[in-house]
């Protein structure tokens, strides 16, 4: 049976204090502290739940706590974190082995080391290996504390002793609790270690980064079962053979989800790429069939990306449809619209669609660009030069508005595009002066507009 502990709670503001005093330390009210018994949650896994016996309160009685953020100075990392680190936040950084997770966190920690007492716990590499990497990154002189250990109880004890304010656990799969008999990396161990880390972070307002390896199949026990326990989930991705790396926020309790940070992995570490549009556009001397540039919104940032399609005679029945960086179901839907509303014959043709640079387009705003790329390849007819296309396509062939049309248009203008084919409903009152905004309501109109350019 878990031992109950004493707590004092302020009637006025709800703040809790371990000791009784005449005046509430939080709101200053007099004689407002009353004793309350709390039974700690018996299982580590249950620790995320609010304390048992908590009383309901009015919404407006909840004190407003300002979530102060500490920027790391790595601009693209701060972007995905929602501006910087939040004290007491737990961030999971998942990704394939070798993508650069350890490098990114070592750089972030080193950048913060003057402002936050930082402890880097490595369960995978020896201190020599971590030291070697730090030297390669030119960070060997930073006031960083390192620890090579895998027993979570000892790690947390050390972190407490060191009064660490920032903790990196690299990786969760190597950590284990002596309280459990199962092997490190098992679901039970990963969950238990994470639960302890989360409690540690919340109790002491320590920011904790947890590194987790995921395989392509997502088969490895770990990160997936942790997603609901942590505040922020970041995925680190990179195309094999490419030096560009993308960090994507798939969940963020302290900022916008789906924010994208872009880095280049160089000899001396990860460098933020502040204008990623430049790398997602392939350089064609003149327009080529099957290529259309669209403006995607990644989190809060508009990104110019190139959508490519290739339509070819089917080698076998049924014809193949392959979407890379796009939803396959969405592609099928767009092909049906293209057939039904423009009479394009695709029944005996293979269709491949691809987004350049390893970007994944989840939004329907890319519909019109995908559809026009397929059509352009089918008829072997390039689209006009310096054209950018965005808009959602409905089943009736209507072009529907998309969020943030104005920001998309501004981004296209900034990157030197001369015209934008876009939903009429998105047309802005005062478009940027150097871009021609062509608003259309229906696919027919869009095709007619293309003929006129
Ligand atoms: P690493 O951070 O160890 O990946 P992870 O922790 O996700 O497994 O990075 C591994 C790769 O990055 C490795 O192949 C070497 C490369 N790298 C560079 O190209 N430049 C550098 O400055 C560093 C430190 C690593
Ligand atoms: Mg590593």
User: Which residue CA neighbors atom 8 of ligand 1 most closely?
Assistant: 98
Q: What is the pLDDT of residue 221?
A: 45
Q: What is the pLDDT of residues 336-381, one digit of tens each?
A: 999 999 999 999 999 999 998 778 888 999 999 999 999 999 999 9
Report the pLDDT value the prediction gives residue 238, as an integer from 0 to 100.
Answer: 84
Domains observed in the chain: 5-38 (no CATH), 69-273 (3.40.50.300), 279-452 (3.30.230.10)
Find the mean pLDDT for residues 401-408: 94
Token pair, residue 18, equals: 């371990």
Distance 132 CA to ligand 1 centre (A): 12
Q: State the Cα–Cα distance between residues 210 and 212, nearest whole angstrom.
A: 6
**0.85 cut: is pTM over it?**
no
| Average pLDDT value over all residues in the chain | 88
pLDDT of the residue at 13 = 62
Alpha helix stretches (DSSP H) within 113-185: 127-136, 152-161
- How much is the pLDDT for 10? 67
Is pLDDT larger for residue 281 or for residue 83?
83
Residue nearest to atom 9 of ligand 1 (CA): 100
Between these two residues, 184 and 383, which has the higher pLDDT value? 383
Select from 92, 100, 122, 138 the residue to mutate for testing ligand 1; criterion: most ligand atoms less than 8 Å from CB: 100
- Rounded to the nearest angstrom, the distance between the alpha carbon of 101 and the centre of ligand 1 is 8
* Ligand 1, CB within 6 Å, residue ranges: 95, 97-103, 133, 136-137, 265, 267-269
Lowest mean pLDDT among 232-246, 247-261, 271-285, 355-369: 271-285
pLDDT at 219: 42
d(CA 9, CA 19): 10
Instruction: Tell me which of 219 and 343 has the higher pLDDT.
Output: 343
Confidence category of residue 12, pLDDT binned at 50, 70, 90: low
- Considering every ligand atom shown, identify the ligand nearest to the alpha carbon of residue 241 and give its number: 1
Using the atom order of ligand 1, give the atom closest to the CA of residue 236: 7
The two tokens of residue 99 are 């993508």
Burial bucket for residue 315 (CB in 10 Å: 0-12, 13-18, 19+): exposed
Dump pLDDT digits (tens) for 295-316: 998 877 899 999 999 999 998 8
Spatial separation of the C-alpha atoms in residues 161 and 167, rounded to whole Å: 13
Alpha-carbon Rg of the chain, whole angstroms? 27
Q: Lowest-pLDDT range, 52-66, 108-122, 191-205? A: 52-66
What is the best residue among 103, 135, 266 to mutate for testing ligand 1's pocket, by most ligand atoms within 8 Å of CB? Answer: 103
Query: pLDDT tens across 419-433, in order?
Result: 999 999 998 888 888
Residue nearest to atom 14 of ligand 1 (CA): 98
Calculate how far, in angstroms, residue 12's C-alpha sits from the geometric centre of ligand 2: 48
Does 388 have pLDDT greater than 80?
yes
Return the number of other C-beta atoms located less than 10 Å from residue 349's C-beta: 19
pLDDT tier for residue 38 given thresholds of 50, 70 and 90: low
């Amino acid at each position: 049976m878990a031992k109950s502990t004493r707590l004092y709670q302020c009637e006025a503001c709800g703040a809790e204090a371990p000791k009784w005093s005449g005046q509430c330390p939080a709101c200053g009210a007099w004689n407002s502290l009353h004793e309350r018994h709390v039974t700690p949650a018996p299982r580590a896994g249950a620790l995320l739940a609010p304390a048992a016996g908590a009383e309901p309160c009015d919404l407006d009685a909840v004190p407003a706590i300002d979530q102060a953020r500490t920027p790391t100075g790595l601009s693209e990392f701060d972007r995905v974190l929602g501006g910087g680190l939040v004290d007491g936040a737990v961030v999971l950084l998942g990704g394939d082995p070798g993508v650069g997770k350890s490098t990114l966190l070592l750089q972030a920690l080193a950048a913060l080391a003057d402002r936050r007492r930082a402890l880097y716990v490595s369960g995978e590499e020896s201190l020599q290996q971590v030291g070697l990497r730090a030297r390669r990154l030119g960070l060997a002189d930073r006031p960083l504390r390192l620890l090579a250990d895998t027993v979570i109880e000892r790690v947390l004890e050390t972190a407490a002793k060191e009064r660490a304010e920032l903790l990196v656990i690299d990786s969760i799969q190597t950590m284990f609790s002596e309280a459990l008999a199962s092997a490190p990396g098992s679901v039970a161990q990963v969950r238990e270690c994470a639960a302890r880390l989360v409690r540690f972070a919340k109790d002491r307002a320590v920011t904790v980064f947890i590194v987790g390896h995921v395989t392509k199949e997502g088969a490895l026990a770990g990160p997936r079962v942790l997603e609901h326990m942590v505040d922020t989930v970041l995925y680190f991705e990179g195309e094999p053979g490419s030096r560009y790396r993308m960090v994507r926020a798939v969940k963020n309790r302290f900022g916008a989800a789906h924010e994208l940070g872009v880095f280049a992995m160089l000899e001396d570490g990860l460098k933020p790429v502040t204008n990623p549009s430049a790398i997602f556009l392939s350089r064609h001397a003149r327009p080529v069939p099957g290529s259309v540039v669209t403006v995607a919104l990644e989190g809060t940032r508009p990104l110019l990306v190139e959508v490519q399609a290739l339509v070819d005679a089917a080698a076998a029945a049924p014809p193949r449809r392959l979407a890379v960086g796009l939803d396959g179901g969405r592609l099928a839907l767009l092909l049906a619209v293209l057939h039904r509303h423009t009479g394009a014959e695709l029944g005996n043709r293979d269709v491949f669609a691809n987004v350049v640079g390893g970007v994944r387009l989840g939004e329907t705003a890319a519909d019109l660009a995908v559809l026009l790329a397929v059509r352009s390849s089918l008829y072997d007819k390039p689209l006009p030069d310096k054209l950018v296309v965005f808009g959602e396509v409905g089943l009736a062939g209507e072009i529907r508005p998309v969020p943030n049309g104005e920001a998309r248009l501004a981004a296209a203008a900034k990157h030197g595009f001369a015209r934008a084919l876009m939903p009429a409903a998105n047309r802005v009152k005062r478009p940027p002066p150097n871009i021609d905004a062509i608003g259309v309501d229906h696919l027919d109109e869009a095709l007619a507009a293309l003929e006129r350019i």
